[in-house]
């Protein structure tokens, strides 16, 4: 199995940097860039993703799409071998058996929550991959649908100090200062709360993006409502107990005994506070119900938007297919017209030649001579 230095597109050092000349970030869309960076480092180039991104800018397609031959233009000693648009397991194993080859795999990105996208990462062999999304070494089965291969060839960097159990842990080089700084920085961010633990996404930790902040605010609001309901319920139960105690005190009085005005006023005060608390509790419950309804409406609206976008996409795909068929028909008609034009040109030449022969024959007949044989043959 190959040994590559782990790099991740979500490394805090560059995950928020722009990819190429677009507004996309390396963290969001830089899997191809980081995979090619690992290839360059495998062949002895000391370079990191942001630096290689700048070198690749003139060669990107549409501002940020990888031009796989560009690495050869930057480093002529690294040869781009081929691009396979379908996955060939036999070829992959053949290339990985030779250390002078570096193989990048293209897969369906559905496991990352992007069912319409693709994802790239280096193959290690023996059913293992280096997933550049999080920099972890994983099983190839983590991505069920493989779509193709990209292959480079060069002279690999000599391994002078192979990692051992004392200097390597879970793919991280413990004696690499930069690697350890990244781990410490990430740990501090988690401890400070810059990352939150959540169960609604596929990863264990979700950075505090706008979506995460909205989720956190929603959770805090729901907790406040729950706390408010609990507090108001406890308060109401306390008032009710005091009310019941006073009521029992009244019931235990004999008819000859008089209820003091003090106790009566206290009783009414408790009753009013109990009523007010019950009204407040009802208001809080109504607020909670309104919040849940508004949240559900937003979710339904987003689901409807997704359905509409999928419908629009299917319509555009159908239209594209129809236009492609029309283009094929137009090209075929163009070829047919071109062939007819060539035939007409040929007929026109024959007609002019015969016309000329006829005119010369008429002229010689008028003069009382036979047509000149030599001139006739020339024409």
Q: Is the pLDDT of residue 107 over 80?
A: yes
Q: Is the pLDDT of residue 259 over 50?
A: no
Alpha-carbon distance values, 213 to 46, 133, 190 (Å): 37, 22, 15
pLDDT surpassing 80 at residue 98: yes
CATH 3.90.70 fits 1-160, yes or no: yes
SS3 at position 221: helix
Residues with Cβ within 8 Å of residue 33, at least 6 apart in sequence? 9, 19, 26, 49, 52, 53, 56, 66
348: enclosing H helix or E strand: helix 261-367
Residue 2 has a pLDDT of 77
Q: At what angle do helices 31-42 and 49-56 cross, to 10 degrees?
A: 100
Instruction: Give the CB-side neighbour count of residue 272, counting CA atoms within 13 A.
Output: 6
User: In the chain, where are the structural domains located?
Assistant: 1-160, 163-207, 210-302
Q: Which residue has the higher pLDDT, 219 or 345?
A: 345
d(C-alpha 34, C-alpha 41), whole Å: 10
Q: Is the backbone of residue 198 left (phi > 0), alpha (psi -120 to 50) or beta?
A: beta
pLDDT for 247 equals 67
The CA–CA distances, whole Å, from 20 to 9, 25, 55 equal: 14, 9, 9
- Output the average pLDDT for the chain: 80
Q: pTM above 0.85?
A: no
Q: CA Rg, the chain, in Å?
A: 40
Long-range pairs, 213-219, Cβ under 8 A, ≥24: 218/295
Q: pLDDT above 70 covers what percent of the chain? A: 73
pLDDT, tens digit (0-9, with 9 covering 90-100), for 147-185 = 999 999 999 987 655 444 456 666 666 767 777 777 787
Helix (H) or strand (E) holding 311: helix 261-367
What is the rounded average pLDDT of the residues 96-114? Answer: 93
């Amino acid at each position: 199995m190959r040994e590559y230095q782990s790099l991740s597109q979500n490394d805090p050092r560059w995950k928020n940097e722009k990819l190429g000349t677009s507004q996309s970030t390396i963290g969001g869309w830089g899997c191809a860039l980081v995979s090619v960076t690992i290839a360059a480092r495998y062949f002895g180039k000391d370079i990191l993703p942001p630096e290689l991104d700048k070198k690749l800018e003139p060669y990107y397609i549409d501002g940020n799409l990888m031009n796989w031959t560009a690495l050869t233009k930057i480093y002529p000693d690294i040869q781009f071998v081929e691009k396979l648009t379908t996955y060939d397991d036999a070829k992959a194993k053949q290339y990985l058996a030779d250390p002078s080859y570096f193989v990048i795999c293209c897969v369906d990105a559905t496991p990352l929550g992007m069912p319409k996208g693709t994802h790239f990462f280096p193959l290690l062999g023996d059913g293992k991959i280096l997933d550049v999304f999080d920099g972890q070494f994983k099983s190839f089965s983590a991505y069920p649908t493989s779509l193709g291969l990209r292959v480079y060839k060069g002279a690999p960097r000599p391994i002078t100090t192979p990692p051992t159990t004392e200097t390597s842990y879970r793919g991280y080089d413990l004696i690499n200062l930069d690697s350890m700084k990244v781990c410490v920085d990430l740990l501090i961010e988690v401890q400070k709360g810059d990352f939150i633990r959540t169960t609604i996404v596929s990863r264990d930790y979700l950075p505090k993006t706008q979506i995460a902040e909205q989720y956190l605010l929603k959770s805090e609001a729901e907790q406040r409502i729950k706390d408010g309901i609990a507090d108001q319920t406890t308060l109401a139960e306390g008032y009710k107990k005091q009310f019941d105690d006073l009521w029992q005190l009244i019931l235990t009085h004999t008819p000859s005994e008089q209820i003091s005005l003090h106790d009566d006023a206290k009783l009414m005060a408790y009753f009013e506070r109990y009523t007010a608390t019950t009204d407040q509790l009802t208001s809080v419950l109504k607020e909670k119900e309104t919040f849940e309804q508004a949240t559900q409406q937003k979710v339904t609206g987003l689901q409807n938007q997704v359905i509409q976008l999928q419908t629009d996409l299917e319509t555009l795909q159908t239209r594209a297919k129809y236009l492609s068929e029309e283009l094929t028909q137009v090209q075929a008609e163009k070829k047919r017209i071109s062939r007819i034009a060539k035939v007409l040109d040929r007929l026109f030449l024959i007609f002019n030649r015969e016309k000329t022969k006829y005119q010369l024959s008429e002229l010689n007949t008028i003069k009382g001579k036979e047509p000149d044989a030599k001139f006739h043959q020339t024409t």
